[in-house]
Chain A
Amino acid sequence: GNSVTQMEGPVTLSEEAFLTINCTYTATGYPSLFWYVQYPGEGLQLLLKATKADDKGSNKGFEATYRKETTSFHLEKGSVQVSDSAVYFCALSKEMDTGRRALTFGSGTRLQVQP
C-alpha cells in the first residue's frame, strides 16, 4: 500500500538557519505529493505541492522537488524564522481502486525555531 516516511522530530534550529525535512514515499504509479503545515492550535494548511516528477513546489520561501528516482520530496528553506515553528506533514495523493483519490500522511515533523 501507499506510505510516507518523514524524519523524526523535533527539529530545533536557530533563526536564519537552513532547514531540511526529509520525506520519502512508497506508492505505485504517479502520486501527487504535498507538504502541509500545522501551526499550534490550528488545522492543517497546504504549504506546497507537486503533481509530477521533477516538479518543484514552492511557497513562503519553502521548496520541495518531486524526485521519482529516489521517491523523495524533501522540504527545504534557506533561512527559517521563529514564525515557522510548527508541525510539517508530508503527504501523497493516490488514486484508489474505486477511482477516488485519498491522502496518506506521514507522521509529522515538529520544527522549533529559536531566536
Chain B
Amino acid sequence: DTAVSQTPKYLVTQMGNDKSIKCEQNLGHDTMYWYKQDSKKFLKIMFSYNNKELIINETVPNRFSPKSPDKAHLNLHINSLELGDSAVYFCASSPIWIRRGGSDTQYFGPGTRLTVL
C-alpha cells in the first residue's frame, strides 16, 4: 500500500564510495523528484523527472546522477561520496499536470538517512 517508497532507509558508508538510493511510486504519477534535507531541516530540490525526462536539475555536483528506468522509478546514484553529502534524501512524486492548472501536490517517501564517515 506504500505510495512512495525508498530503499534503504539508512545508509552508512565511507568517504569515496559510490552508493545508490532507490525510489518507487505506485500512484501512477508522471513526475518524480529528489530533495536533500540538511541537518537544519532545510529542504532543497535536486532533480525532477517527468515521464523519464529530466526537467529540473538544480545546482548539484555532477557526482549525483539520477536515473529513471521507467516513470514509476527514480533512483539516485552518488559517486565519490563526501562528508558533506550526509543528509536525509527524500523522493517525491506528483500527478501529471498541464501548463496551466493541474495538481501541484507532491507525495513524499519516508526518506533515506545517508551518513558518510
Interface of A with B (CB < 8 Å)?
A: 32, 34, 36, 38, 42-46, 49, 51, 87, 89, 93, 95-96, 98-105, 107-108, 110
Set of chain B residues within 8 Å of A36, measured between Cβ atoms: 108
A interface: dominant SS = strand
Q: What total count of A-B pairs have CB within 8 Å?
A: 55
Set of chain B residues within 8 Å of A49, measured between Cβ atoms: 104-105
Set of chain B residues within 8 Å of A108, measured between Cβ atoms: 41-43
Which residue in chain B gives the minimum CB-CB distance to A9? Answer: B41
A68→B92 CA distance, assembly (Å): 28
Set of chain B residues within 8 Å of A93, measured between Cβ atoms: 104
Contact A43/B42 with A93-B104, A95-B99, A101-B97 known, Cβ cut-off 8 Å = no
Contact partner of B40 (CB less than 8 A), chosen from A98, A101, A107, is A107
